[in-house]
Structure 1
Amino acid sequence: MRFSRKWLQWISCLAFKNPSQHTSMKRGSSSYIFEGEQPTLEEIRGWGKSFDKLMKSTSGRKLFRDFLRSEFSEENILFWLACEELKKEVDVPIIEEKSRTIYEDYVSILSPREVSLDSRVRDVINRNMVDPTPHTFDEAQIQIYTLMHRDSYPRFLNSQKFKALAQLQDGVSASGSTTESPT
């Protein structure tokens, strides 16, 4: 029996997430479920003005990750998040294990989730992997962050989901008041 990807994602949400931890945002015909605290309209609009604000917000990263998944480039944010987690580590054996996992999952040319890195950065990573530190992937992380900012972020801002959440379409003005279209 084969199931669609959307159906499997829906089932996995039911199986692994506690519905009491979700907050649903409804604006017009659009809704989106955020984990934890619901962002304000001003915060959502701030994501549209600053990629840094988007990436610093847990809710913003979740929305952006969902967008990247729809574009088949989710590996970029997953790599970036894995690097952020690595930077928090101080235990050498854990640093080595996490570094190896990140390398195998995102840098290795054999990985199905390989991120796009230039040869210079790959050489730096290969040298760093001899003695991994929390900063083994810093140059690669910057390159992927820049790639997401330059390529994916503009498309995200033009997506219907973002525009609906930021109330930037369907007769809603930037001030949040409903406007009537001329008839």
Structure 2
Amino acid sequence: MPTPPEAEKQHTGPEEGDQPPSMSSRDAAPPAPPRRNPCCLCWCCCCSCSWNEERRRAWRASRESRLQPLPSCEACATPSPEEVRSWAQSFDKLMHSPAGRSVFREFLRTEYSEENMLFWLACEELKAEANQHVVDEKARLIYEDYVSILSPKEVSLDSRVREGVNKKMQEPSAHTFDDAQLQIYTLMHRDSYPRFLSSPAYRALLLRGRSTSSSEA
């Protein structure tokens, strides 16, 4: 016959070895690995995953070599008096002149809107690219530099054009920014070009051209 302590032990329930193990905080299941930020597939620049950060660092490192705003020949070109006068005939003639683009860009810099010319030039460079891998990389670099709302060089685009660019960035092509480029071209034509023709810089070029013509005569 069991003694009282033994009886009490028999009736307290299943032994400790038969009970399910309790789960302490240390024994808790490990947390699920963090999921990749779903926004990595879009290009609104809200993604902070390591993959995107590595790509951004690579783009920044190649920015100077891959998107030179102006070739060196444009920076040093000396326009003739006839060419300078032709810039006042139409904005297209100004933009088709390497020297004209260089002078106009310097003027835009004084108005703190140089990013408009840089964006337009970057789009022209993108359209001349045939390698799809390079197109993909340059398109994303252009987006980050000039379209992203987080960029200090963001150009002014309306919501319709911006939405169109965002959709096209899912599969970038050499013509992803065509609508945006046209809008910025129109903005420079209507807003900055008239002031450029009245600027001291352009007037000085006109006077220099007249002086050169007079001395040659």
Counterpart CA distance in 1 for 2:132 and 2:119 is 20
Q: Relative to 1, partners in 2 of residues 1:34 and 1:154: Cα closer, same or farther, differing over 3 Å?
A: same
Q: Identity rate of aligned residues, in percent?
A: 61
Q: Distance in 2 between matches of 1:119 and 1:34?
A: 34
Residue 34 (structure 1) shift: 5.3
Structure 2 counterpart of 1:7: none
Match of 2:83 in 1: 43
Cα separation, 2, equivalents of 1:90 and 1:42: 35
Q: Does 1:130 align with 2:170?
A: yes
Alignment CA distance shift 1:132-1:91 (3 Å): same
Does the alignment pair 1:78 with 2:118?
A: yes
Regions of 4+ moved over 3 Å = none
Indicate the structure (1 or 2) with the bigger Cα radius of gyration: 2
Alignment of 1:1-16 (within 5 A): none
1:177 Cα deviation after fit:
5.1
Q: Which runs of 5+ in 1 are unaligned?
A: 1-20, 23-32, 179-183
Residue of 146, 149, 158 corresponding to 2:198? 158
Would you tell me which structure has more helix in proportion to its own residues? 2
- Higher RCO structure, 1 or 2 (CA under 8 Å, sep 6+): 2
Aligned pair count reads: 144
Cα distance in 1 between the residues matched to 2:83 and 2:207: 12
TM-score (norm 2): 0.62
Q: Tell me how far 1:49 sits from its aligned partner.
A: 1.2
1:133-177 CA-partner distances (Å, limit 9, x unpaired): 100000000000000000000010000110110129xxx69xx65
- Letter aligned with residue 140 of structure 2: R
Which amino acid counterpart does residue 123 of structure 1 have in structure 2? E
For the aligned residue pairs, the C-alpha RMSD in angstroms reads 2.3
- Partner Cα separation in structure 2 for residue 34 and residue 44 of structure 1: 15
Change (3 A) 1:34 1:111: closer
| Residue equivalent to 1:53 | 93
| Secondary structure at 1:166 match in 2 | helix
Amino acid at match of 1:162: Y
Alignment partners' CA distance in 2, 1:103 and 1:45: 35
- Which secondary structure state, in structure 2, belongs to the residue aligned with residue 113 of structure 1? coil
CA separation in 1, counterparts of 2:75 and 2:101? 10
